A and B are shown apart, each in its own frame.
Chain A
């Protein structure tokens, strides 16, 4: 290997390490600096993956709209046009508490938003939007999936950064924080 190739070789390895550290740092920054919110989940679906076990989490805000497929308790309002593949911002709380409707809109967060979460519209059908937030999987130690599956009430505490990106902090199972 020539000296130049050797330098490049070291640079590539350094880039790989920086990338991994960057990924860890970014997620840690969301967890430590972000604002927290507790999200309601609807039925969870434990599955086995070849490298461990995880549960699939579907949130109350995973399906939003006025159709029968949207079971949310809060009242949401789809602002403007939302298409499949759009980046979507969902208000979790409003600045003004008199504004009772939580806005959902594409491209930028609503001006009424106090805390909002960013997701991607994966399906838009009959006025109902299905959204993924990148927090739909929770990995568990082997054999612990049943505890989540059999629980009556599962909530997820998430941390959300300024741009609306969320990271899972912990699960709250039947009212208590679940320790893996």
Chain B
């Protein structure tokens, strides 16, 4: 018998084991928000939300794509290349 207890936010971990890789999306977005909030240069009339949003989305996309590329490279080396070499 499986005992399923109610999820208590901040006290228990929710069951996200099947979709763990999707958690990279909010991580990349929030890191970009925090970083770009202090790094985006001022526009003509001070801080520009448009420039901020554009740069934040671009940075988040770059982070996700870079991690995806690293995954692909690791997969090719470990799963395809090494079995041929070794």
Chains A and B belong together in one complex: no
